[in-house]
Amino acid sequence: MLLNPSTRFRHLGLALAIFYLLYNLTTVYSVSLYKLYPSKVHNLATPFDSVIPFIPAMIVPYSWSLVLFVVSFFLVRTSTQLSLLTYRLILATVFACLIFYFYPARFSFHRLIPDDWTQFGYQFLQLVDKPFNQLPSLHVSYAILLGISLWDVAESKKRWVSMLYRLLLVGICTSIALSTVLTYQHHLLDMLGGVVLAVLVLILSNRIRNALVIRHLAIGGIGFLLIAIAGFYLANMSMIAAEMIETFAIIIALYWLISFTMLACAYQQVKPIQDTRWFKKSSGGRLTVYTWMKFAPIIIIYNAMSLLGQWYFEVFSKGQKYLLTPYAISDGVTVVASPRLTQTGINTHLTNWLRSPEKNKPSICYQIVVVDLAAEISSHVNKLEMTTKDTASAPVHYLYLPLLDLQPLNDILFQDYIDLFKQIDTLIRSAETEAFVISNKDKVEGSLIALINFHCVMGLSRSIGVQVLYLLYCGTLTVYNYQSWLEQHYPHAHLKGAYLPQSLVEAMANYKSIEYSKTPL
């Protein structure tokens, strides 16, 4: 399958944007630091560097780095190769710029501008690339990473063609790496640092599970640098408590970095047991203090996203009678997927959810089951409990299956879904017994045994996805009709195969629950 050019441009744009943002940010910081506190900027020259000649013509292969960087995104063939290339370059950039901040260094030799045909190249280089950001050399790291990422893209049945391509690739990448010292841009230790960084990135990138891990590592690194460097400039502009301002900024920046690194670790974990190690909640659906201490930046961001989601649904639902309409899976059980709702949203939707679909009249509801799928934010179950005191006497039961944002649904253990659905079945059977007793062995007309509300944070992907799995578990949907059901009831849902994989759908559809078969709904 050919890669879409827009996909290639998107990956290239992301990698370049992160490079230019972080590299220029750390360059500006190092220049300012050198002017104010020159002793804090390190000198990495060794006796061996003094014997390395300056070869002006090496400016040509030095300039190849950016060309190879850009071209590589159009040479890789598969989406896997493209993703791996992007992962590696972003990781190298983020890690290198963090080192530039913690260990700023300056090139030690004075380089005269040549007066031959290479003059323009060195003038341009002097303009765009100051003699800072030395260790590790990103030119060297990129050369190694690009060479390895492009190693297999020109495979041919003719062995000599493949060999010629690889010799050319090795020659280009080696020339780029050597040019860093032969143009007097880097020292030997910078080259060594670039090699070490490339090796570490290769090891790490081969173990990273998906782009979500990279995203949170990158956000952590970018946020750290922005906060810490902003604190440096604020401290130097302040006449009072300058040192305290900078220290406070570094503490906040480190907290941000650690928090997002832990989140990346949560995404990296293979089939976590409901992520309870990461995002714990109380029995009332509130994130614990310990969770807040670990993930405050993420939780604050997701609370803002939740408010944005509420605004989006208010705008999007205009002109539609009920956007979040329950779906009946039996005479007395309905399910509804929703985002996390505010108190206003609960008040608006609850009355509609409890209406009899046939007669459009309020139903007698025996219980409401809230299934919280939002790991990063507190549930709306407490708001629902407050509302039901005024509008219905139904008890509210709370169940928690934490799913990280955009996490593929097969990252959760299959047994965790079964355990959750069995808990729902138990609650439904209990409500059926209560309804049977209260109605004197005859259900009250218009009664609703249970309303099951699956909710996530902002959109509907998580809640709809798990609702589909539950309907497959119940036998209401099959592998043959669940797609058409989604198109009919949730035409705007974003449930791609990578998020709700066919293998999980088939496994759930084929699962035979003994308890469920004994007591059909």
Structural domains in the chain?
Answer: 5-207 (no CATH), 306-518 (3.90.190.10)
- CA–CA distances in Å: residue 96 to residues 22, 91, 99, 326, 341: 9, 8, 5, 51, 42
Mean pLDDT score, 267-294: 80
pLDDT in tens, 258-267: 999 999 988 8
CA pair distance 220, 160, nearest whole angstrom:
45
pLDDT at residue 441, as a whole number? 47
pLDDT at residue 316, as a whole number? 60
pLDDT at residue 189, as a whole number? 95
Report which of residues 101 and 314 the model is more confident about. Answer: 101
Out of 69-78, 303-312, 495-504, least confident range: 303-312
pLDDT in tens, 84-97: 999 999 999 999 99
pLDDT at residue 312, as a whole number? 67
SS3 content of the chain, % helix, strand, coil (to 5): 60, 10, 30
Which residues is 400 bridged to in the sheet?
A: 372
Q: What one-letter code names the amino acid at 323?
A: L
Pairing of strands 333-338, 327-328: antiparallel
Report which of residues 359 and 99 the model is more confident about. Answer: 99
* Residue 388 half-sphere exposure toward CB, CA atoms < 13 A: 22
Q: pLDDT class for 361, splitting at 50, 70, 90?
A: low
For the chain, percent of residues with pLDDT exceeding 70? 87
User: With 80 as the cut, is the pLDDT of residue 193 above it?
Assistant: yes
Instruction: Please state whether the predicted TM-score (pTM) of the whole model is above 0.75.
Output: yes
Is 221 within 8 Å of 97 (Cβ atoms)? yes
CA pair distance 184, 114, nearest whole angstrom:
12
Residue 244's Cβ-count burial label (10 Å; 0-12, 13-18, 19+) is: exposed
pLDDT at residue 516, as a whole number? 47
User: With 80 as the cut, is the pLDDT of residue 144 above it?
Assistant: yes
User: With 80 as the cut, is the pLDDT of residue 437 above it?
Assistant: no
Mean pLDDT score, 308-325: 63
User: With 70 as the cut, is the pLDDT of residue 397 above it?
Assistant: yes
